[in-house]
Structures are given as C-alpha cells and as structure tokens.
C-alpha cells in the first residue's frame, strides 16, 4: 500500500518539510503556506517548491538532477547500490531545500523504477531513514492523472478528445481526455506502457557501427512501442477531427529545443510551444542517424541525454502515428505541477 503520510503534513520528528509557523499563524495567514512537490522518476529527480498566487502558484525554489535510478533494472530486477546512492544524494539536497524553504505541506512520489524493482520498498525505507523524505510509490494511473493535471492548460483550443502523454525513464503514460465540459478535463481512458527512455535504450543497446545500423535500431524500438500501444489504439475514437496532442517530458522539451536551435535550454521558449508534427518527425529522423558523440555535441542534449534521447524519439514517433495531430504541444510541466495544484486545491485555493 502506498504511504499515506506522503500526502499529508509530514511528521515533525523526522521530516525536513515540517511546519515552522505556529498553527494560529497559519490560520491567520493561509497564503503563507509553502508547498513542495517531488518526483523521483526512473531517470531524474525533480523538486518544486511554490506558494499560491492569484493566477496559480509562484515557484520559489526548484531542483533537477539526472540520477538514473533505473539503470540496469531491466536485467537485474533491482535498483543497484550505485543508483540508490545517486538518488539518495539528490534527495538529500531536496530535503535541505524543503527545510530551508519552510515547506508546510508536501508530497513526494516515486514511479516506474520503484514499482518494478524487487527492492523498491527497501529503497523507499532507506530514503526515509537517511533523508526524512517519505516517498509514495504511485500507480501508473495516478502518475497519468498528475501529469494531466499539471499540463492540460497548455492544450491548444478546441473541442472533443485530446491526448496527453508523458515519456518517462521506465514507462510512458497516455491519457485520452474530454475537454467539452470546461474546467478540469475528464479522463476517458489511459494507458501505461513499460517502455521509457532508459528501459527502451537498455532493451536495444547503445553501440552501433554506422548510421544504417542506428536507423535500424530506431525502427526496432519504435516497433516495440507500437506493439505496447496497440490495445490503447483500439480504444481511441475512430473519428478524429480537430485532434490535439500534448507532450510533457524531458524528451519533448529536449527535442523542441533542437527544433528551435537553442544555444542553451530556455523554458520560456519551450513551455507552451506548438510545433508542427512534421518538424518533430524530422528532428527524430535526424537524431536516429547520429552517433552518441554527435548527439552529445548538441547544446540541449549533452552527455546526460545523448544515449537516451533516441529511445524517446522512437516512443514519440509511435505516439504521433496512433494520434496523428497536425501540431504537437510541448509542456515543461507535469507531475510536480499536478501535485502542487492538487495540494493547493485541497486547501481551498482556486487555481
């Protein structure tokens, strides 16, 4: 069972996110509440700290680090000691930020790597013991719901169903939503495939002799993903007029940065971008031919993502085939923002 303590104010004896203000002061000044949202994925550890504002919330601190928690998980079934050490080091930084920012309410979630690993619960206990952070291993359905809550406002205007997707390190979540009623969209159906940028890369390998072998590997990865999505594709409406597609993940933001030829990543240029689907396919095709060393030279990829980005491209290509929208929305927001909106709404803030 997921730890319920992770969705409530954390215990004062062990939590770095404990309330600092007195209960009376917090009641008199409800807007002084500071909220935290932590997402430990298969590849990245990300934190946002924010306070409510009239038009949503204001981020007052953030943290992101590549930890590769799921490295080797596909073959061993376990989170390795080295991966645990990297994650605990990153989570210790998060714990310090939660404490220094006087976070009064937070939620910390872990996703596919901890769901799949036979020692996932052991790792969660180690994190609690060494950092004070209570990780909640969430279901794929909850992961999809939070991603949708965090980014649906960036959908291009329109009626009818829309598809939101989140390409992670160990899995990819697809959410078909209905926006006809206004307000928060209703989830019509969702799907989680066990392929993310880490798991798919490790299934195929990294070293290939030349461009033709790399393109062939890209095709094989794409076929694996297409097969994993086939049941979901059967659930999609046969008539697809005015369809909309929105992606939230490091994959889509990185690929959008390449499309824009940014010299360095710029969230303001990427978040909310509407990109022609054909342009995204062209970026995917270009990357599929490049070596790891060549990809690493691109400013918005670098060494951290050079070996993984093509797997993300293969997943994205497969998604664009089952939901062939003319444009692709790009969101640099997702699970963390969904957590923040949920916590603040529960406290009566209108977002």
Q: What is the mean pLDDT of each run of 10 residues along the chain (351 residues)?
A: 31 34 43 88 96 90 96 95 98 98 96 96 98 97 95 88 94 91 84 94 90 96 96 86 90 96 95 97 97 94 91 97 95 96 89 68
Nearest to 222, CA basis, from 174, 284, 170:
284
Decide the pairing of beta strands 105-110 and 244-248: unpaired
Residue 127 contacts residue 88 (beta carbons within 8 Å): yes
Angle at which helices 197-204 and 309-322 cross, to 10°:
110
What's the predicted TM-score (pTM) here?
Answer: 0.85
For residues 113 and 40, give the distance between their C-alpha atoms in angstroms, rounded to a whole number: 9
Q: Where are the domains of the chain?
A: 4-138, 151-335
Question: If you classify domain 151-335 with CATH, what class do you get?
Answer: alpha beta
CATH code of the region 4-138: 3.30.420.40
How far is Cα of residue 83 from the mean position of the Cα atoms in its chain? 19
The per-residue pLDDT for 32 is 63
The per-residue pLDDT for 21 is 37
Could you check whether 4-138 and 151-335 share the same CATH topology?
yes
Output the CA–CA distances (angstroms, integers) from residue 25 to 12, 33, 36, 117, 270, in the order listed: 17, 10, 19, 43, 39
The dihedral sign for the CA sequence 293, 219, 197, 176: positive
């Amino acid at each position: 069972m997921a730890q319920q303590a992770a969705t409530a104010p954390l215990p004062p004896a062990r939590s770095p996110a404990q309330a600092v203000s007195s209960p009376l002061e917090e009641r008199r000044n409800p807007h002084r509440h500071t909220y935290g949202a932590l997402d430990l994925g298969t590849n990245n550890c990300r934190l946002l700290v924010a306070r409510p504002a009239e038009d949503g919330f204001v981020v007052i601190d953030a943290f992101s680090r590549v930890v590769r928690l799921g490295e080797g998980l596909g073959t061993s079934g376990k989170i390795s000691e080295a991966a645990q050490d990297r994650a605990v080091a990153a989570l210790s930084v998060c714990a310090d930020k939660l404490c220094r920012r006087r976070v009064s309410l937070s939620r910390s979630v872990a996703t596919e790597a901890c769901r799949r690993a036979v020692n996932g619960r052991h790792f969660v206990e180690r994190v609690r013991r060494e950092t004070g952070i209570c990780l909640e291993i969430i279901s794929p359905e909850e992961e999809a719901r939070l991603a949708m809550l965090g980014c649906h406002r960036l959908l291009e205007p329109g009626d009818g169903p829309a598809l939101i997707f989140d390409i992670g390190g160990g899995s990819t979540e697809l959410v078909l939503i209905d926006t006809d009623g206004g307000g928060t969209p209703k989830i019509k159906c969702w799907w989680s495939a066990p392929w993310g940028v880490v798991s798919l890369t490790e299934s195929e390998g990294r070293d290939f002799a030349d461009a033709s072998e790399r393109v062939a590997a890209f095709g094989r990865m794409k076929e694996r993903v297409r097969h994993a999505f086939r049941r979901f594709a059967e659930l999609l409406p046969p008539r697809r007029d005015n369809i909309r597609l929105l992606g939230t993940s490091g994959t889509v933001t990185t690929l959008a940065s390449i499309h824009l030829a940014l010299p360095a990543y710029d969230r303001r240029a990427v978040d909310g971008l509407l990109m022609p689907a054909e342009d995204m396919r062209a970026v995917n095709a270009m990357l599929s031919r490049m070596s790891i060393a060549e990809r690493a030279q691109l400013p918005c990829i670098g060494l951290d993502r050079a070996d993984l980005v093509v797997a993300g491209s293969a997943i994205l290509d497969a998604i664009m085939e089952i939901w062939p929208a003319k444009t692709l929305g790009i969101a640099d927001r997702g699970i963390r923002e969904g957590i923040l909106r949920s916590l603040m709404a529960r406290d009566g803030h209108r977002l």
